[in-house]
Structure formats: structure tokens, C-alpha cells
Chains A and B, each alone.
Chain A
Amino acid sequence: MTFTIQIENGTEVRNAEADSQRTLYPYVTGTSVVAIKYKDGVLMASDMGGSYGSTLRYKNIERMKAIGKHSLLGASGEISDFQEILRYLDELTLNDNMWDDGNSLGPKEVHNYLTRVMYNRRNKFNPLWNTLVLGGVKNGEKYLGMVSMIGVSFEDNHVATGFGNHLARPILRDEWREDLGFEEGVKLLEKCMRVLLYRDRSAINKLQIAKMTEEGVTVSEPYSLKTFWEFKAFTNPTVGAEGSW
């Protein structure tokens, strides 16, 4: 609800309180997440940076978290909204455990829950400013899906959020195969993350890769990629074009 108050000089002022209850802009944001299905399950990669506008404020944010025994949630966008979503999912899993019937939420169910949450928040004009990637394996079935902040949701063999849409998707569309092994899958993800590192200004060279298989969900330790800057043309770009830049 918004109110307008007439002040003496005639200008109208929105009720500040009403506006501060809605998300208008993101503040601390994470950049892209890339994920693929492979032979034994699902692999997901994301870096560990949290940008505050154009400053790289936080360099140790884990943007991928395990949900229950079977799924992994990766998020790009507003970090505080991601933490809120984790709280919602915590409540969900807790309620589930209280039933104590041996059943556990699989990735498909978590994805559906998240879709409903995101879409309903969007309908109230108060979105959770995230693009979420949900992956997991349950009963031998691999699952990989995505939900955006306006509630668009779908599942696919490979997904990418944020800048990854433009830079990683072409690579994945070209080189993804049904029967990728673990090493090949990691190499493919690293290829995408390297291009993102070169060309996305909010990416940092500290990433984690998560593996989801029937046995469970593991997130690797953070590590960095090798980059190559020694092109001859970079060392002296204006040779032969004096005065240019």
C-alpha cells in the first residue's frame, strides 16, 4: 500500500515506510552460476564473490548450499534473499524430518516449492531478487532446474544464470553430451568459468565446484583457475599504430 501526503509547497511524497517494505533494488549480489548434468549426476560451479554495487565487498560467500540429502541450491543475485530462502528451506526440511517416516524431499519437490515461493513473492511486487539453480539425484534420477526472480522455472540438461546466459550457454550448447565423465564435466565447467572470469567484471578467481550423485552432495574446497595473459598483442598493442590506443 502506498500513501501520498500533501505538504505545504504542493509536492507529493510517498509514504517512506510503505516503500521500504518492498525489494526495489539488489544491494549485495552474486554473479553467475553454471551447472550441467553428467553421467553419474549433476555438477554445479560458482565463484565466491559478493559485490556491493561496483565494489567487490565479500570474497568468501558460499553461493551453493546442500538441501537435505539429495539436492544442492545455487543462487545468483541478492545474497540476503538467498539466505532468506535457505531459512525457508530449513523450515521445510525440519517439518519433513519431524514426520520421521523415512521420506525425504527430492530435488523435484524442492524445485516446485521454490517456484511457488518466487512466483508468489513476485505477484505481491516484493520479489526475492535471485536466480536459483536446483540440482540433485534421487533414486537414480538426475534433476537440474532453474527458477528466476519472476517465477519462470524450467529444467534442462545444462543451465547458467546472469552473465553465464550469454557467455557460458553457447559453450554448453556446443559441447555438452549425455555421457560426460566426471573429469570431462569439470573441465567443461572450468572452461565456462574461465571465460566468465575474463569477461564478467563481477567475477573473481575463487570458485567452488559441487557434485551431486546418488551417494550424496559434496561441495569442493575453493580453488582458482589458471589464466593466460601473455598474448604478444597484449604486451604492446600499439606497435605499428603509433599514437593509437
Chain B
Amino acid sequence: MSQSAVDVPPKGGFSFDLCKRNDMLTQKGLKAPSFLKTGTTIVGLIFKDGVILGADTRATEGPIVADKNCEKIHYMAPNIYCCGAGTAADTEAVTDMVSSQLRLHRYQTSRDSRIITALTLLKKHLFSYQGHVSAALVLGGVDITGPHLHTIYPHGSTDTLPFATMGSGSLAAMSVFEAKYKEGLTRDEGIKLVAEAICSGIFNDLGSGSNVDICVITKGNNEYLRNYMEPNPRTYVSSKGYSFTKKTEVLLTKITPLLERVEITEVGEAMEE
């Protein structure tokens, strides 16, 4: 009878004692835990003059909200922005990396970056990690060839779409898009639709919440509307502020300095170097 649950071989190394038991469990039907779709709603849509990206601002750590107002729309180039869903570290690292690669490329070619460049760089990186870099991205921007919107999945496949949603709130946002998207939307209509889709994710998906961030990219211009909408403000704040009942009377106010203030005047020579 063994003392510990798992016997370590006398000369060190791996112990394969549990492999038979794991095999038996999978045969009996136990499924290994699958990937969690992480809490986010990110969307993008193409309108008449360019691209509008939207995202919620909640970062979750399991069931806890770790950051109530994080930024999910990442800068890639002056004319390209990327929303990221999935593991926050992965989306940050991958977008930062490709953003610097794009800048170096801009210096070398003396031209504005194209969205397909960013797309190919991201796609190659994610595919080579076979899905272990858990970053699901909505990449959008306007370059010399026009407005583009792409989705990139953690395993490296991409889609080119007129409207796209990703993250756990993607179905709620997609239902709004499928019901209301039209071609040739104006800027205000587009912003309204994106805000509606993100709100649908915020209120109907538990993994998304807090505020709506929007980024509008047009030819030669981009507008990052941070916290464009705040549909979840703190409501129960007393307008009067705090006031304590007057229980103690002030009898005497005297200020006693604890340390003597000493004035230092420049005397003597400077320190030797």
C-alpha cells in the first residue's frame, strides 16, 4: 500500500501511474475541460466612409470582475485599430507586437500600413502557436484600398465581413446586427448600431459589462471615443454627501508642531566629487 497518492520513481523522472486511470475515465465518457469563451463583447462594422469598432469594458477573472473599465480597443497603426477578446495578456502582447512590426515596416516602406499586412502578421503568429495563444480579434481600418474589417480566430483562421462580433457576448450582439444592419449607413447610424449591439452584449451576457468604447476610423482620420456610453453608473450615491450627527462639541483648537522648522542656508563649500 503506497504512502502517497502518486509514487515518484526512485531515480526521479515522470510517473505514469495515473495514465491508465485517465484513459479509463475518458473511455467511460469523462470529457477534458474545453476552452472557456471569455467574457467580452467586441464588434465591428463597415459604414459608408469607413469602419466603426466597438467593445465593452469588463475584464473578468473567472466569476470576479477584475477591471471595471479596461481598454479592449488596441492601437495598431494610425489608420488601424484592433479589438481583442480572450486572454487579456495574449491580446495585449500580440497586438503590441504586430503594432511595432507595422511601425518598422512603415519606416522601411515610407507608406501607410495596410490592414491585410496586420492581418497576415497576426494570422501567421496565431497559427504557429496552434491556438494556444488565446486571442480572438476584430481588426478594422481604412487604407489606400478602402475600408476593411476582419475577424481572426485563436487558431489562425480569418474572415472578411461587413459586420462582425466576437467574444462571449457575440451572439447577443450578432442578433442586433442581423436584425438591423443595412449597407451604406451614415456615421451616426453606424455609431448608434454599434452602441446598441454592445449594450445588448452588456445586458444579456454575464461576461460583458460596464461601459461602451467606440472607435471610428475614416480615411485619414480616426476618433477613439473612450467610454462613449456609460449605461451602468453608480446610482445610489447620496447627493447630500456624508454628514455626521453633531455629538461632540469643539472646545479648543490648538496646533502644536511636532518638529521644529529649521531653515538651512547655504554655508560652506560644495561637496567634493
Contact A233 B162 (CB under 8 A): yes
Instruction: Give, as a whole number of angstroms, the nearest-CB distance from A59 to chain B.
Output: 23
Known: A240-B146, A244-B158. 6 other contacts (CB 8 A): A167-B174, A171-B179, A199-B175, A233-B160, A240-B116, A244-B120
Known: A166-B171, A195-B175. A233 touches B203 (CB 8 A): no
1/0 contact string of A161-181 vs chain B (CB within 8 Å)? 001001111110110000000
Which residue of A has the minimal Cβ distance to B157?
A245
Cβ contact of A233, chosen from B119, B145, B161, cutoff 8 A: B161
Main secondary structure of the interface of A (DSSP, over half): helix
Known: A240-B145, A244-B119. A166 touches B172 (CB 8 A): yes
Give the chain B neighbours of A231 by CB distance below 8 A: 162, 183
Which residue of A has the minimal Cβ distance to B116?
A241
Instruction: Give, as a whole number of angstroms, the nearest-CB distance from A56 to chain B.
Output: 21
1/0 contact string of B125-169 vs chain A (CB within 8 Å)? 000000000000000000001101010000000111110000000
1/0 contact string of B173-195 vs chain A (CB within 8 Å)? 01110110001000000000000
Give the chain B neighbours of A232 by CB distance below 8 A: 162, 183
Cβ contact of B150, chosen from A191, A243, A244, cutoff 8 A: A244
Known: A244-B116, A244-B150. A237 touches B179 (CB 8 A): no
- Asked if A99 is at the interface (CB within 8 A of a chain B CB), the reply is no
A192 to B183, CA, bound (A): 20
Give the chain A neighbours of B172 by CB distance below 8 A: 166-167, 169-170
**A/B pair count, beta carbons within 8 Å:** 71
Most buried by B among A170, A173, A231, A237: A170
Give the chain A neighbours of B150 by CB distance below 8 A: 241, 244
Known: A173-B204, A199-B171. A237 touches B148 (CB 8 A): no
- Asked if B79 is at the interface (CB within 8 A of a chain A CB), the reply is no
Contact B145 A234 (CB under 8 A): no
Contact A241 B148 (CB under 8 A): yes
- Asked if A138 is at the interface (CB within 8 A of a chain B CB), the reply is no
Which residue of A has the minimal Cβ distance to B28?
A14
Main secondary structure of the interface of B (DSSP, over half): helix
- Asked if B46 is at the interface (CB within 8 A of a chain A CB), the reply is yes
- Asked if A112 is at the interface (CB within 8 A of a chain B CB), the reply is no
- Asked if B40 is at the interface (CB within 8 A of a chain A CB), the reply is no
Give the chain A neighbours of B95 by CB distance below 8 A: none
- Asked if A238 is at the interface (CB within 8 A of a chain B CB), the reply is yes
A173 to B179, CA, bound (A): 14
Contact B179 A194 (CB under 8 A): yes
Residues 30-60 (chain B) with a chain A CB within 8 angstroms: 46
Cβ contact of B160, chosen from A167, A198, A244, cutoff 8 A: A244
Contact B200 A170 (CB under 8 A): yes
Task: Enumerate 7 A-B pairs (CB-CB under 8 Å) in ascending A order.
Answer: A166-B171, A167-B175, A169-B172, A170-B175, A171-B175, A173-B204, A195-B175
Which residue of B has the minimal Cβ distance to A191?
B179
Give the chain B neighbours of A171 by CB distance below 8 A: 175-176, 179
Known: A171-B179, A194-B179. A199 touches B174 (CB 8 A): yes
- Asked if B115 is at the interface (CB within 8 A of a chain A CB), the reply is yes
Which residue of B has the minimal Cβ distance to A231?
B162
1/0 contact string of A202-245 vs chain B (CB within 8 Å)? 00000000000000000000000000000111100110111111
Instruction: Give, as a whole number of angstroms, the nearest-CB distance from A188 to chain B.
Output: 10
Which residue of A has the minimal Cβ distance to B120?
A244
